[in-house]
Amino acid sequence: MTRRVIVGLSGGVDSAVSAALLIEAGHEVEGLFMRNWAEDDAYCTAAEDYESARAVAAQLDIPLHQADFSAEYRERVFADFLAEYEAGRTPSPDLLCNREIKFGEFARHAQQLGAEAIATGHYARLAAHEGRTRLLRARDSNKDQTYFLAATPGTALRDVLFPLGDYEKNEVRALARERGLVNHRRPDSTGVCFIGERPMREFLQHWIAVRPGAIETDEGQVIGEHHGVALYTLGQRGGLGIGGVRGHAEAPWYVVDRDVARNVLVVSQDRGDARLNPTRLTLGQCYWVNEPPKDGAQYGVRVRHRHRPQTAVYRAGPPARLEFAQPVWAPAPGQFAVLYAEEQCLGCGVIEAARIAD
């Protein structure tokens, strides 16, 4: 069935190939470039991205629309991002960005333009089952983006197309070259959602109040100074600025606790520290693609993108909990735990607390 499809053209290779594949499949295709970050600085690539998207649209001979969702992004995604960091947590804004912006505001705007379906360059697959839309992992396990889509409801995915779900990334690059797409050599973006690729410490210091403080061992020995506890995450070993410490081995130091009240960063040289290897997670706000997981059932769980799913039992609570068969490395409050039933992504929950088994 051919439809009028509006593709989110970002200027990147993935969205360009998605548009080309949809045209070849006989759909009536148009592009929509969205601006979601209003700040103009050295790291903002919106102008360059738009020119790339415009060149692709011209090459494919399709209309290109523009929309500015920066106000919605600031209110629904970025405000939460900053609040989480100020509270000493580690947010994952890409999940809310997909839920609120790409498959929320973008989809509504596309419908106003007459779209019967929307499409993006995400590496994921969709399948209809008993009147519901299931979210499935992509064929390319390394590029699979279902982790970032886990907060998006199935109802919002009903009229969505993911043309790249059955392709490997190297195949997509090859498709772009074969079709002579003008941006086929453009590198992939690895930045945080629409904030872009920038030094996160410098960026956060512009938006939230941070102050230096002590880096301590569990025994209270001060061995360094941090730039602000909000700028570090559990399990972090790089960027601590800790050299050789008298009385301690020449081994890496890991962040094991962020004491926001005292403005102290607690570190340890023990990678096996229980605080970095919990077996139980308590979840806060949960988002399910369709129905919630079954209480007492086992699922695969990711606590970060590209994390290999680990087996855990889901407890509905309240509060909802995950009980892992083996310790899981450094899950941080504020991040999302994403649940899978084999290849199907069921949804996610915000990590509130982590602890070892009783």
* Overall average pLDDT of the 278-305 stretch: 97
Confidence of residue 357 (pLDDT cuts 50, 70, 90): low
- Extract the tokens encoding 202: 């410098």
Helix (H, G, I), strand (E, B) or coil at 144: coil
Number of helical (H) and strand (E) elements in the chain, helices listed first? 9, 17
Domain boundaries for CATH 3.40.50.620 within the chain: 4-178
The reported pLDDT for the residue numbered 40 is 59
Yes or no: say if 91 and 81 are a contact pair by the CB < 8 Å rule: yes
Say how far apart CA 211 and CA 15 lie, in whole Å. Answer: 41
The reported pLDDT for the residue numbered 356 is 73
More confident residue, 358 or 1: 1
Domain 277-355 homologous superfamily, CATH: Translation factors (2.40.30.10)
* Overall average pLDDT of the 285-298 stretch: 97
Domain boundaries for CATH 2.40.30.10 within the chain: 277-355
pLDDT tens for 104-163 read: 999 999 999 999 999 999 999 999 999 999 999 999 999 999 999 999 999 999 999 999
Confidence of residue 186 (pLDDT cuts 50, 70, 90): confident
* Overall average pLDDT of the 179-204 stretch: 74
pLDDT over 60 (residue 87): yes
For domain 4-178, the question of CATH label 3.40.50.620 is answered with: yes
Yes or no: say if 129 and 117 are a contact pair by the CB < 8 Å rule: no
Domain boundaries for CATH 2.30.30.280 within the chain: 210-274
The reported pLDDT for the residue numbered 1 is 76
Residues designated as active site: 97, 193
- Percentage with pLDDT > 90 across the chain: 80
| Backbone angle region of 136, left / alpha / beta, with phi > 0 → left and psi within -120 to 50 → alpha | beta
* Overall average pLDDT of the 89-116 stretch: 96
* Overall average pLDDT of the 262-271 stretch: 95
Confidence of residue 39 (pLDDT cuts 50, 70, 90): low
The architecture CATH gives domain 210-274: Roll (2.30)
The reported pLDDT for the residue numbered 349 is 98
Say how far apart CA 189 and CA 163 lie, in whole Å. Answer: 19
Q: How many CA atoms lie within 13 A of 31 on its CB side?
A: 29
